[in-house]
Amino acid sequence: MMQIGQLAKAVGLKSSAIRYYEDRGLLQASGRSAGGYRLFDDAALQRLRLIQFGQRLGFSLDDLQALFGQHGGWDHDDILQRLDEKMAEAAALIQALNDKQATMQALKRTLEATWTQGACLGSDELAAIVGQVPVNTGGEH
> pLDDT tens digit string along 14-58?
999 999 999 998 998 889 988 889 899 999 999 999 999 999 999
Residue 15, domain member (yes or no) = yes
Domain membership of residue 11 (yes or no) is: yes
Q: Give the burial class of 20: count Cβ atoms within 10 A of its Cβ; 0-12 exposed, 13-18 middle, 19 or more buried.
A: middle
The answer to whether residue 46 is domain-embedded is yes
pTM above 0.85, yes or no: no
Counted domains in the chain:
1
Whichever domain contains 34, its CATH number is: 1.10.1660.10
In a domain, 125, yes or no: no
What are the strands, taking DSSP E only, across 4-84?
Answer: 31-32, 38-40
Which residues constitute the domain of residue 18? 1-62
Residue 104 falls inside a structural domain? no
Looking at residue 115, its amino acid is W
